Amino acid sequence: MNELNILALSGSLRAQSHNTALLHAARTLIPGGLAIDIDDDLGRLPLYNQDLDGGTPPVVVAEFRARIAAADALLIATPEHNASIPAALKNAIDWASTAPEGLLRGKPVAIAGASPGPFGSVRAQLVLRQVLAAVGAEVVVKPEVTVFHCDTRFTGDRKLSDPCTADLLRELLDALARKIHPYTAAK
């Protein structure tokens, strides 16, 4: 059996992002038979504009949509910006959801998030769940991975050092794997 591909998106564009580090940690915890491909191009996507979304969208959008279409699932790690999701992440979802193929409809998605604050990214994840439900994605419900005080859970070189967070992330990946298998059978 071929490996199943998870496309990972970080809602943070920061070079030293804890959310991107969380995705790299997920690569080390992934169950067998799955592979994680981290997309770091969200900042290159133009702001969603229906005038640009005709028969031939911008090349960067077409490439992004192709990566989502090829993925068996998504893993999204998001920070919290003003009690919501970052604009770059919402923009990426807008571009993906408006594709004629309905790229996110039925697609398994797992959510995690890290924040230096005391609430992790709990409000951002709530908003993200609402957005993903609206576009028809199949969101993993449990466990909720909200990494609060994330600056204490990673080493200086952005390696996950907290065993509790690693266990939760591993559980999330296992739950995502269980959601992927019925999805790929229906493809």
Record the pTM: 0.93
Q: Which two tokens stand for residue 92?
A: 């990426």
- Paired tokens of 68: 């989502």
Which domain does 180 fall in, by range?
Answer: 4-186
Contact assessment for residue 142 and residue 178, using Cβ atoms and an 8 Å cutoff: no
pLDDT per position as a tens digit, 3-53: 899 999 999 999 889 999 999 999 999 988 899 999 988 999 999 999 999
User: What is the number of domains present in the chain?
Assistant: 1
Summarised one tens digit per residue, pLDDT across range 19-29 is 999 999 999 99
Note the pLDDT tens digit of each residue in 105-156: 999 999 999 988 888 799 999 999 999 999 999 999 999 999 999 888 888 8
Q: Is the pLDDT assigned to residue 185 strictly greater than 90?
A: no
| Inter-residue contact 57 to 93 (CB < 8 Å) | no
- Provide the CATH number for the domain around residue 57: 3.40.50.360
